[in-house]
Structure 1
Amino acid sequence: MDRMTPDKNNNKMWFLQFARGLACLLIVYVHWLTFLLAPASLDTTIFQSALPAYQAPMAVFGYAGAVGKIVPVDFREVYFGLALFFIISGFIIPVSLEKGSRANYVIRRIARILPTAFACTVITALVILFGRLLEGNTVAPFSVSSVLANAMLIRDVVGHPYIDTAIWTLEIEVHFYVICFVLSFFSGQKKAWVVLVMALAFLFVSIAYTYCNGPYEVYRRYLNVIATNGTFLVPMFIGMALYNFNAGNWSVVKTALVVVALLVMNNLTLQYHVGGTSSVIYFNHLFATLVFVVLLLLGDKVPYFSFMDKLAEVSYPLYLLHGTCGYVVFYIVYKFLHETAIALLLSFTVITALTFLVHRTIELPSTPAGKRIAKSFDKADFFGRLKRRSA
């Protein structure tokens, strides 16, 4: 198959597909490698009883040690993969804004992200309950309202605990969608000063969070949410800057200056908010930016790999199901058989099956359905009329 085939058949830029597949592969890989080294440390996080005596296979220790000696000391697959995902979102969301009315944008974003997130969250919750029931524990570790808050991606707003911690990245995605929606009313996504001011605002919030003590302690929770968003929204702004370069809105020099300024502010934001691990996270944000720029400049010269294309297609449900859901399956199997290899094999079998089930029955139908519904709003352009009426 020609490397340009995905572009022609699916209307997707291959370099973005490749970047998405690479990010997903690295995140799944490092999560499971870390898990296999010490799965017993996650029992409370995944709402399961303690794992029986477990010793990681020597092959896993040996492999992890060998890889640690080869890769750069500050390279962390999970931080790099997440940064790459966020840059991709920052690049494609402005494109989505230009495809129709604002109502069109809102509906397509909801259809793209919410049904899959809802399905995966419910599946993960059911698997967690199943694992507990097998041991005779009939007490649910979370309420129905918590499941719904997680599934609707409003957990951080209403203050519910996590069902699966992977949902935090989607919450940041939703916040970015809202920001882009607001910016679209004055084409702010195309203005360099707007992008820089937003990044600067998140930096100020991170500083405020650091020094907010005494009578202002009550505000720390809200500042923490905003600052946490800021540390990972800035890579999205970098993606937005690169979109403007790719679309011909900004020159090379302008884009380079904005990206450098964003990277500097991201570094400072991380230092104030994250602290000790800020340098590691920043290095991987920087590395992800460089890799994305190279892929962008290569364009259709990026070699086509069928595996990466298919992985990118299912990356969304796979990302949501590979963690807590897969870990619980591992716990269940290992408690019965005490065999790491079998537990790993069955876990990946279940994850793969559930990923393709959600992809085919939820993700694939919901995206075009959202587009069809959105088209019906294009003529009405509700938000456009609202803007003209208030002018």
Structure 2
Amino acid sequence: MKRRISALDSFRALAILAVLLYHYFSRWTYPKNDISLYPYDDAYDYFGYAYLGVEFFFIISGFVIFFTLEKTLNLKVFWKKRFIRLVPPIIFASVTTFIFVKLLDDESLFLNSNQFKNFIPSITFISPQILKTIFKGNWGYIDGSYWSLWPEIQFYALSSILYFLNKKRFVFNYIAVSSAIICLNTLVKFFKQTPKFNLLPESFFHYYQIIFDKGFNLVNYIPFFSLGFIFYIFYKNHHDNVKTCLINKLYLAFLILYVLFIYGGIDESFIIRIIYACMLVLFYVFIYHPEYLRFFENKFLVRIGVSSYFLYLIHQNIGVLIIHYWGSNNYGFIVPSLLVLSLIPLSIFYSEKIDRPVGKWLRNRLIK
């Protein structure tokens, strides 16, 4: 099996492009924000659902981490690899964003980016809510986009511990643990939303929200990571011409039904469910009919996907400030479009010319 899978990198490209469009046209205007940071206000607010690119990233991560675990010697090496992959880019991006915002943000639009102490949650990935609970005061990420890295870290911890505790029973143990988390979290939210069936004290929900919704929030996103996990099993079995066992099929059915009909509650938008369905279809075609996804072998699209992590880290606050100060009311789409066209090659350059050599140097010294 190949070290990198081109289609997955192209999926990352789709996800990051969606997130960029969301942040440059929809996130920082009405009704999602009290004031509009775009000179064009909501004139181009066509990407209100593009934030779902983050959930797509989570599915891809679930797939890739299982793929990575099978090629890793032990738990220590796994976390060294994660350190090499995640930490240098976020240090570089955090410093760059901090300096840029300090120089440009005269109106204090991004207060968290102006506070040196916020390097702590940013480069450790820890949720600011946990730091607020322990140390009090105001904490935040240097860039709000970093929020999604904390669920990623929690997923890495859960999956790697389960894998190296018992490799032979890993699939069964992961299915059991993740299913329990999903069901218990759904049950708690059901009780909170339907008081007539609630047998739990109000204080329970208060502490549950602090600990899980605002702290260890993997419980809210584990269905997406788990979809990637089970898709990898189907992909591997199809590649090796091995029959997939019943429990894996039932688990996939459970996750699909959960994400399409239960996740988000009964008020979840129909459009969101359609987008989730498209993600699932993409993975199905990728596994069983890759010949229909030849477009995703495009080398430029793959390079965007490979550099998507740095692009994700660097794009939001810097880009929105540029739009805010140098955008225009008329033809407002020009500045954000130029931003996208500029940040993509910049991120590719960083990933290929800086991050790759740094990663190689670190691997030579940290992983024997």
Q: Which of the five TM-score ranges fits, normalised by the shorter chain?
A: 0.7 to 0.9
Question: Quick check: 1:112–1:370 contact (8 Å CA) kept in 2?
Answer: no
Counterpart residue identity of residue 336, structure 2:
L
Partner residue of 2:67? Answer: 95
For 1:317, which of 305, 310, 319 is the aligned residue?
310
Q: Distance in 2 between matches of 1:331 and 1:189?
A: 53
Distance, in Å, in 2 between the alignment partners of 1:175 and 1:352 is 28
Q: Give the structure 2 partner of residue 291 of structure 1.
A: 282
User: Aligned partners of 2:332 and 2:155: how far apart in 1?
Assistant: 40
1:34 and 2:6 are equivalent in the alignment: no
Farther-moved stretch of structure 1 (257-266 vs 361-370): 361-370
Could you tell me the TM-score, scaled by structure 1's length?
Answer: 0.74
Aligned residue among 160, 165, 170 for 1:181: 160
Report the 3-state secondary structure (helix = DSSP H, G, I; strand = E; otherwise coil) of the residue aligned with 1:340: coil
Partner of 2:323 in structure 1? 330
Aligned mates of 2:108, 2:223 — CA distance in 1: 46
The separation in 1 between residues aligned to 2:98 and 2:31, in whole angstroms, is 20
1:16 corresponds to 2:13: no
> Quick one: structure 1 residues 285 and 301, their matched pair in 2 at CA, closer, same or farther if it must change by over 3 Å?
closer
Given that 1:19 and 1:292 are in contact with CA atoms closer than 8 Å, whether structure 2 keeps it comes out as: no
Q: Which amino acid aligns with 1:317?
A: F
CA offsets 1:85-126 (integer angstroms, 9 cap, x no match): 212111111221222222111100111112112222222222
1:221, distance to aligned residue in structure 2 (A): 0.9
Could you say which residue in structure 2 is the equivalent of 1:168? 147
State the AA in 1 paired with 2:343.
Answer: I
Q: Name the SS of the counterpart of 1:12 in structure 2.
A: coil
Counterpart of 1:146? 118
Residue 110 of structure 2 corresponds to residue 125 of structure 1: no
- Contact between 2:98 and 2:113, CA under 8 Å: does it hold in 1? no
Partners of 1:42 and 1:361 lie apart in 2 by 37
- 1:198 is the counterpart of 2:178: yes
**Structure 1 residue 331: deviation in Å?**
1.4
| Aligned 8 A contact 2:20 2:340 in 1 | no
Equivalence map 1:1-391=2 (5 Å): 11-34=3-26, 38=29, 42=33, 54=40, 60=44, 64=46, 76-79=49-52, 81-99=53-71, 100-133=73-106, 142-156=114-128, 157-159=130-132, 160-184=139-163, 185-187=165-167, 190-192=170-172, 194-208=174-188, 211=192, 213-216=201-204, 217-225=206-214, 228-248=217-237, 251=244, 253-266=246-259, 270-271=263-264, 276-277=267-268, 280-299=271-290, 302-303=293-294, 304-334=297-327, 340=332, 343-344=335-336, 347-348=339-340, 351-352=343-344, 354-356=346-348, 358-360=350-352, 362-376=354-368
**Deviations, residues 16-55 of structure 1 (Å, cap 9, x unaligned):** 222222222233234333259x4897587xxxxx759646
Mapped partners of 1:278, 1:27: distance in 2: 19
Cα distance, 1:170 vs structure 2: 1.2
- Of all paired residues, the percent bearing the same amino acid is 18
Q: Distance in 2 between matches of 1:247 and 1:353?
A: 33
AA at the equivalent of 1:296: I
SS at match of 1:191: helix
Contact kept, 8 Å, 2:311 with 2:347, in 1: the verdict is yes
Letter matched to residue 236 of structure 2 = A
- CA change 1:373–1:43 in 2 (3 A) is farther
Tell me, in whole angstroms, the C-alpha distance in 2 between the residues paired with 1:88 and 1:136.
Answer: 35
Say if 1:182 and 1:259 are closer, same or farther in 2 by CA, change over 3 A.
same
Q: Which amino acid aligns with 1:153?
A: F
Q: Do the aligned partners of residues 155 and 294 (structure 1) sit closer, same or farther apart at CA in structure 2, a change above 3 Å counting?
A: same
Q: Distance in 1 between matches of 2:112 and 2:18?
A: 33
2-side partners of 1:136 and 1:161: how far apart?
Answer: 14
> What 5-or-longer segments of structure 2 have no aligned partner?
133-138, 193-199
For 2:316 and 2:363, the matched residues in 1 are separated by 30
- Is the 2:101–2:114 contact (alpha carbons within 8 Å) kept by the matching residues of 1? no
Would the aligned equivalents of 2:285 and 2:292 in 1 still touch at CA under 8 Å? no
Of Structure 1 and Structure 2, which has the larger fraction of its residues in helix?
1
- One-letter amino acid of the structure 2 residue matched with residue 327 of structure 1: V
**1:258 to 1:339, Cα distance in 2 relative to 1, 3 A:** closer
What does the per-residue CA deviation read over 1:197-251, in whole Å, with 9 as the maximum and x for residues that have no partner?
3232233134335536533324421131468422322111121112223333761
What's the RMSD between the two structures over aligned residues?
3.7
Structure 1 residues 91 and 370, CA, compared in 2 at 3 Å: closer, same or farther?
Answer: farther
Question: Is the Cα contact below 8 Å between 2:75 and 2:161 reproduced in 1?
Answer: no
Residue 362 and residue 175 in structure 1: after superposition, are their counterparts in 2 closer, same or farther (change >3 A)? farther
Change (3 A) 1:206 1:227: farther
- Give distance in 2, aligned partners of 1:127 and 1:103: 36
The CA deviation string for residues 164-207 of structure 1, in whole angstroms up to 9 with x for no partner, is: 22112111111111111211211277423532432322331343
Normalised by the size of structure 2, how large is the TM-score? 0.78
Equivalenced residues, count: 344
Is 2:127–2:215's contact at 8 Å kept on the other side of the alignment? no
Q: Is this contact kept in 1: 2:260–2:277, CA < 8 A?
A: no
Unaligned runs of 5+ in 1: 1-6, 45-49, 69-74, 377-391
